[in-house]
Amino acid sequence: MWYNLNYIPFSPMANPYLPKKLLKIFFVGAGLTLLALIFLVYHGQLPIRNWFSFWPRAEERPTGTYPKLALYWTSPFMTLEQAQQASRYDLIVADMENMINNRASLAVIKNINPRAKLVAYANPMEFFNYIDPTARPLQAQMINAAALGGNRWRLRTPAGGPVIFYPGMSMNNLSDWCPAVNGQKWNEYSANFFLQRVLFDPIWDGFFLDNATENISWIYNGWIDADNNGQPDDPMALDKSWQAGISRFLQVIMDAKGKNFILIGNKGSLAFLDQTGGKMFEHFPNDYLGDKKDNGWWQSMSNYAQTGPYSILNAEEKQGRQYWQFVLASTLMGDGYFSYGQNNLSWFNEYRPLGQPVAAAKKAGDCWERQFTQGKVRACPKNQTGQITYDRK
């Protein structure tokens, strides 16, 4: 059966004189509009939180409520679904490679939760020995740059071999003894690399320096030759040079980005406090920070109180529920952030809002307690337990 299209109002076929070019203009215009929208979303310039109603909605948490939660994401990839879940967190430490591999995921986080702080993770102290350059293109560029410099930026033993801290990786020379290549030492080159290739993007609120340690003489029992003279370095002199090198790295970024840019270092020591706004206590508590009582809890908590507003207490996944509840309770004795594991988006009932702290933590027998507007928290370092009690509504 043939239909008379002349009865369809405003149909292009109702008017035989309507140029076919109008159809082409319509479809080209629609295509260009769609491309423009994709571009704006990709670059985080267009709010999308109400567009994708078919996504599972992240649980809403009131602004500024406790516990404050951090996500420690060192994977170079993050899917859009993972980004939607990540938007529930207050502070997201995300591997810098995500900016290249899936920047749209970072934009999703910012659009769903504009108050979230997004911090770029990097580890200039070490390179993976074998990487997929398509997965880690930024690190591949840094490896190539070091190779072009004759690998003079790599940290060596007196015998000339690589220095290894983490299995599968080898270390770079962040000390101020490092030889200059084309006028730059490794600490300066790597800091400028991050500024030019990563931190120029306004999507980042800060930078996370893994292995922000002020000493390395304990690695390889001091069998390190950072000054490249073929002899083992004096441990005290080596640590002094290493601390100066890390400080220089941080200062280059701080000078370029300003004091409001967040800098976080991974090691809960009291070094570099004039340059960082927080420290991560990975696998809290840390018994290497000084006093070892209760697995270093007292020393860790003392440092935690001094290391800045963006400090993070990190719970290791494999130790079980009682342990991470203890780490969460310890976090709530102060005003920093709690993180669970690494690349882990698990969401626990204990993340329910506690409101605001009523007062500072106080000692109660062998434990410490803190009252919040919607509950009470108790941390007991002697038996490594924690408890959160919520007020009934």
pLDDT for the residue numbered 325: 98
Q: How many domains does the chain have?
A: 1
CB 210 within 8 A of CB 123: yes
The 10s digit of each residue's pLDDT in 83-113 is: 999 999 999 999 999 999 999 999 999 999 9
DSSP structure class, residue 53: T
pLDDT for the residue numbered 28: 61
Which structural domain range is residue 160 located in? 17-354
pLDDT for the residue numbered 10: 34
Q: Is a pLDDT exceeding 90 seen at residue 63?
A: no
Q: Is a pLDDT exceeding 70 seen at residue 29?
A: no
The answer as to whether 372 is a domain residue is no
Q: Is a pLDDT exceeding 70 seen at residue 35?
A: no
pLDDT for the residue numbered 46: 46
DSSP structure class, residue 214: S
The answer as to whether 312 is a domain residue is yes
The answer as to whether 385 is a domain residue is no
Q: Is a pLDDT exceeding 90 seen at residue 14?
A: no
pLDDT for the residue numbered 27: 57
The 10s digit of each residue's pLDDT in 108-165 is: 999 999 999 999 999 999 999 999 999 999 999 999 999 988 899 999 999 999 999 9
End-to-end CA distance of the chain: 68
Furthest CA-CA distance within the chain: 95
For the residues 35-42, what does the mean pLDDT come to? 54
The answer as to whether 209 is a domain residue is yes
pLDDT for the residue numbered 392: 79
Taking only Cα atoms into account, the Rg of the chain, rounded to an integer number of angstroms, comes to 26
pLDDT for the residue numbered 166: 92
pLDDT for the residue numbered 77: 98
pLDDT for the residue numbered 26: 53
The answer as to whether 49 is a domain residue is yes
The 10s digit of each residue's pLDDT in 162-205 is: 999 999 999 999 999 999 999 999 999 999 999 999 999 999 99
Q: What band does 44 get if pLDDT is binned at 50, 70 and 90?
A: very low
pLDDT for the residue numbered 21: 54
Label each residue of 264-300 as H, E or C: EEECCCCCCCCCCCEEEECCCCCCCCCCCHHHHHHHH
Residues in contact with 364: Cβ distance below 8 Å, sequence separation at least 6, in sequence order: 378
pLDDT for the residue numbered 221: 85
The 10s digit of each residue's pLDDT in 194-245 is: 999 999 999 999 999 999 999 999 998 889 999 999 999 999 999 999 999 9
Output the average pLDDT for the chain.
Answer: 89
The answer as to whether 338 is a domain residue is yes
CATH number at residue 268: 3.20.20
* Rounded Cα gap, residues 330 and 366, in angstroms: 14
Burial class for 361, CB neighbours closer than 10 Å (0-12, 13-18, 19+): buried
pLDDT for the residue numbered 25: 61
pLDDT for the residue numbered 6: 36
**SS3 state of residue 68:** strand
The answer as to whether 230 is a domain residue is yes
The answer as to whether 378 is a domain residue is no
CA 217 to chain centre: 27
pLDDT for the residue numbered 225: 97
Label each residue of 140-173 as H, E or C: HHHHHHHHHCCCCCECECCCCCECCCCCCEEEEC
Q: Is a pLDDT exceeding 60 seen at residue 56?
A: no
Predicted model pTM = 0.86
pLDDT for the residue numbered 153: 97
For the residues 341-351, what does the mean pLDDT come to? 97
The 10s digit of each residue's pLDDT in 279-321 is: 999 999 999 999 999 999 999 999 999 999 999 999 999 999 9
Q: Could you tell me the CA-to-CA distances from 361 to 162, 261, 301, 355, 368 in Å, in that order?
A: 46, 29, 12, 15, 6
